[in-house]
Amino acid sequence: MNRVHAEKPTLAQVAELAGVSVPTVSKVIYGRDDVAGPTRERVQAALGRLGYESPVQRRLRSSAPGLVDLVFDGLNTSYSLAVLTGITSAASTENVEVVLSTVTPGKLKSTDHRQWSSRMADSGRRGLILVTSEVTTGQLDAFARRNIPVVVIDPLNPPPSGFVSIGATNWAGGKAAAEHLIELGHRRIAYVGGPDAAECSVARLHGYLAALRAHGVDVPDEYIVSGTFNRESGVSGAAQLLSLPEPPTAIFAASDLTALGVLDEARRRGIRVPEDLSLVGFDGTDLTEQSVPRLTSVSQPLQEMGRSALRSVLRLANGEELESSHVELATSLVVRDSTAPPARSNP
């Protein structure tokens, strides 16, 4: 069961927490002016702490036009824009408005979620969509207490039980990338991943490892490099890998942006792609067609992930139960120009 359907607090619970009578709580809720200031403040604090929603607030939520909050950790990547396109297209179909904001990566954990959820509830928001964010049980519970459903797309950490997340088949995608390189004849295949704690990066790594082990291919520890999903990580990861005494003949990068960084570093060293080094990315963004050479990549259905998140949050807001709390949409390997058999001098 989704956590947004947690048991609602009662007036008696609010009164007990505030140390007042139930009639006093009722007076505060309905704006009566015959309650002393300090008492009113205690009651309001208790209401907020327990996430009590008054009948007035519930009527506001049900009568207000559909409003969904959408939070990204940045909108400067092709990945984010593709997800945003999917969300807004579904919002248009569902006659829902999206309130868009961004937050610095890592800052979301320090946000006062109790105040945030209260503001959303008071303004009649239908739900919240978080993209590539790291969240905790306590933070998500703050929204559950205010009956605000939360859906997370590509969470950086596994969401607490009962909360909804949307992702792709990352393990299968990592396996497909490695198998493609193995089929071309590569045996020295490295991985440039995202953060060690990022669930999607770990799944891609495990898929890559499963493919290599199934074919009896050894993976030296130095062939696995962590970073972030950006171009700079690709540059630094490639510099580390290509400086090894026995460098890889192929690299699987955990994102298209990371793969472009690998390509930058290879070009700086005079290493040709794919003649000297094969390269596979992940995401399937428009960057794959814009790079030179065009990038082989594991394509995620990013727009459909956005559409699925918007539909899911609206279903939850309407009190529906979802078939699953974690949805994985299928990935597919798209072969372009950045992969080829290894040169004969690099068996």
Residue by residue, pLDDT tens for the chain (347 residues) are: 344 444 667 888 888 888 988 888 877 776 677 788 888 888 878 877 776 766 655 554 454 457 899 998 777 789 999 999 999 999 988 889 999 988 776 666 667 777 888 888 877 788 999 997 777 777 788 888 888 899 999 887 777 777 899 999 999 999 999 999 999 999 999 999 999 888 899 999 999 999 999 999 999 999 999 999 999 999 999 999 999 999 999 999 999 999 999 999 999 999 999 999 999 999 999 999 999 999 999 999 999 999 999 999 999 988 888 888 889 999 999 999 999 999 874 44
For residue 84 the two structure tokens come to 């945003």
pLDDT for 150 equals 92
pTM summary value: 0.78
329 contacts: CB under 8 Å, gap ≥ 6: 166, 167, 168, 169, 300, 301, 304, 305, 308
**CA–CA–CA angle 241, 262, 132 (5° rounding):** 105
pLDDT for 234 equals 97
Q: Which residues pair with 133 in a beta bridge?
A: none
Distance CA 191, CA 195 (A): 12
Region of residue 63 (left: phi > 0; alpha: psi -120 to 50; beta: else): alpha
pLDDT for 264 equals 98
Distance CA 23, CA 26 (A): 5
Name which of 240, 214, 216 is nearest 227 in CA terms. 240
pLDDT for 31 equals 66
